[in-house]
Structure formats: C-alpha cells, structure tokens
Amino acid sequence: HRVFFDACDGLFTNYNWKQENLERSRELAGPRRTDVYVGVDVFGRGEVIGSGFDTNKSLRLIRQYGLSAAIFAPGWVYEHLGEENFLQNENKFWGLLAEYLPTHSICTLPLATSFSLGMGNSRFLDGKEEEAGPWYDLSVQEIQPLYPEHEGRLSTSCCLQDAWCGGSSLRVQGIIPSGKEHVATRLFSLQMPAPPKLFLTLRYKLEGPHADELSVGLELTTWDSSTCHEGNITSLPEPNGRHHPRFLPAPPPSLAKLLAVCNHGSNGWTSRCYELDLQGCSLRDLSLLVSRHQHSPQETSFTCLLGEVRVLDAASTGVSPPQVQNLAASQFWWQ
C-alpha cells in the first residue's frame, strides 16, 4: 500500500491492528511516520488493544512507535454509559488519554474566561441566577481549562449549580497534604513572550468547613531562561520560574473602570486583582494556588469554584478601542 501513502497527505488505518503492525508501519513510513493515523475504535469492535476507559492502552503503544492516532467514536461515553454522570465520565475518558495527547497552548493575550460550557441548567449574570431552566448555545462557550487530576488528591470539574456568568463555573476540589502550605492546579498552558507588565483578575468562591482557613491566588510559570527576571533587570531570577503576582487592592486610576472588580465581592463571589512585572520572559503555565493561612500537621480539604479568570497585557488596557463607523443592522427580533 506504499503507493497510496506516497500519493496522499496522510493515512487512516483500520482498527484491528497488533503491535507488529505498528512496527511495520513505522518502517514503511520512514520520516513521515506522523502521517500515519492509527485507527482506535473506542467501542472496541473486533480485536483491539484497548477501548472504552482502556483506550489509553492503545494510545500508549501508538506513541511508542511515534505514530499519530485517529480516535473513532469517542461518543461511546454518552452512547454506552448514558447521560447520568456524563461530564464526570467525559473528563475521566479524556483524562486517561491526556499524557498521550498534545496540549494546544494559548498564544495571545488577553486571556479571559468564565469557564462556561455554552450550556447549563440556569443562566447566571454577575453571580446571580437570571433565568432558570436548561439551555444550550455553543456560540457562547468560553475557553476551557485543562481539567487535570492528580492521584485522586486534586480534581477539576464543571459545576452547573453555580456560576459567575453563563451556565457553569469550574470546581476545583482537593486536599492540602499535612506539612504542606499550598497546592497548585494547572489551569492553562501558555506559549508567548511575557509583556513587561501583566494585570490578572480572579473571581472565586470557597466552600466547605475550612473556607475561612484558606486563601486563593494565581501562579504564573515561565520557561527556563537566564534572561528572565521579575521586576527590574537587576532582580534575581525566580526559582523554578514560578511567579506569584502581587495583590492589587485598588487599580491605577487609568484602569479603574476596567479593573473595577478589584477587591469587590458580589453574590458570594470574591474578586481579586493582581499585577506582575516581568523582563525577558516567556509564559508557560497559569495555575490556581490554594494556600493555608497557618501551618498545620493535618490534611485540609477544600472546594473552590472559579467564576472568572483574566490575564491582560497592561500596555493594551489603556488603549481606547477604535470607534465603530458606518454601522448598519437589519432583521432585528425584539423579545
């Protein structure tokens, strides 16, 4: 079949393969091995290596041979397991595959999201339920996080019961182990040069019996570089490229309107603003940091709802948007 492979951009194989087939495909493809998309049927029809929640077994082998994968019928999660606990099952399915799938990083600013899936059981605005009842509109879906999970001690999931804006928020649940001061949850992968000054905003809601013992913040990591400094050029590089933006109790006058959320809560949600000065850095990850106020020899469980996160280039926030000219509209529908 080499003649067909040479004549096309890529090849999608069938699903009933064995390890020796992968080895042979790699040999035949040569430097074009990533153009071979090995078929993986999540329903597991025929003789397959792994399917369903064991699909990662197939992916693991495919990656060992440096080949690409074509995952067929991931709708198995809903079609086979049903609608009960669908979001949890969906996160579990893709979470098991995460280490074998590339992450698409965010490459431009601003980054702003309220984590809405574009559906929900109610519509929320400014942390308040505006309209009860199920709805579905993918056109208003916002940027979604990575949904990481760490050995059962830290998990992220969608919360449809409460939100800042839209139909859902992000629920982060976990345990701060005994002897540790904080835990970090990776939310977004970033890949871009860091502007000299960043503004960050966060809306959150802590729940559970230990809420008063905890604080929430953001952490930015940068790629390893001897030229990367926090603050001015004479500052020492941060260890491990971890940066903790400074809490901003009040925004600069020029940004008061944009950052009016600083230190103002609403409907049970807490709002915080931060700033960070960087020189010669490239952004890598944005994480949520949950910390204890005081050291404790005991484990501390927590539940935190994230309603909104924004990362802004300070230089662009003071620029007035261009005025709209020659605006025309038609076919209005008023309700």
pLDDT given for residue 259 in this prediction: 64
Residue 263 has pLDDT above 70, yes or no: no
pLDDT in tens, 56-85: 999 999 999 999 999 999 999 999 999 999
Weakest-pLDDT range from 90-99, 200-209, 325-334: 325-334
pLDDT given for residue 237 in this prediction: 46
Asked whether 68 and 108 are in contact (CB, 8 A), the reply is no
Cis peptide before 245 (omega within 30 of 0): no
Lookup: tokens for 199: 């503004």
Lookup: tokens for 75: 């709708």
Question: Which segments of 30-183 does DSSP mark as H helices, in order?
Answer: 55-64, 76-81, 86-97
Task: Please state, in angstroms and as integers, the Cα–Cα distance from residue 112 to each residue in 26, 281, 309, following that order.
Answer: 42, 21, 6
pLDDT given for residue 202 in this prediction: 93
Stretch 105-115: mean pLDDT: 94
pLDDT given for residue 297 in this prediction: 83
Element (H, E) at 75: none
Residue 324 has pLDDT above 90, yes or no: no
Q: In terms of Cα–Cα distance, which of 190, 189, 185, 192 is closest to 171?
A: 185
* pLDDT band (50, 70, 90) for residue 254: low
CB atoms within 10 A of CB 188: 20
Asked whether 196 and 277 are in contact (CB, 8 A), the reply is yes
Asked whether 255 and 317 are in contact (CB, 8 A), the reply is yes
Lookup: tokens for 57: 């077994």
For 140, phi then psi, to 5°, come to: -110, 15
Stretch 151-172: mean pLDDT: 90
Residue 41 has pLDDT above 80, yes or no: yes
pLDDT given for residue 1 in this prediction: 65
pLDDT given for residue 135 in this prediction: 96
pLDDT given for residue 236 in this prediction: 46
Lookup: tokens for 200: 């960050």
pLDDT given for residue 153 in this prediction: 80
Instruction: Report the share of the chain in percent with pLDDT over 90.
Output: 64
Weakest-pLDDT range from 27-36, 50-59, 151-160, 230-239: 230-239
Ordered by where they begin, the domains of the chain are: 2-100 (no CATH), 111-315 (2.60.120.260)
Asked whether 269 and 159 are in contact (CB, 8 A), the reply is no
pLDDT in tens, 191-250: 999 999 999 999 999 998 888 889 999 999 998 777 787 865 444 444 468 899 999 887
Q: Name, in order, each residue with C-beta under 8 angstroms of 18's C-beta and a sequence gap of 6 or more.
A: 47, 49
* pLDDT band (50, 70, 90) for residue 262: low
Task: Please state, in angstroms and as integers, the Cα–Cα distance from residue 29 to each residue in 1, 25, 70, 193, following that order.
Answer: 11, 6, 16, 36
Of the ranges 20-34, 137-151, 207-221, 236-250, which is most confident?
20-34
pLDDT in tens, 274-322: 999 998 899 999 999 999 988 888 889 999 999 999 999 988 876 666 7
Higher pLDDT, 299 or 260: 299
Rg over alpha carbons for the chain, rounded to the nearest Å, is: 23
Strands 270-279 and 246-247: antiparallel
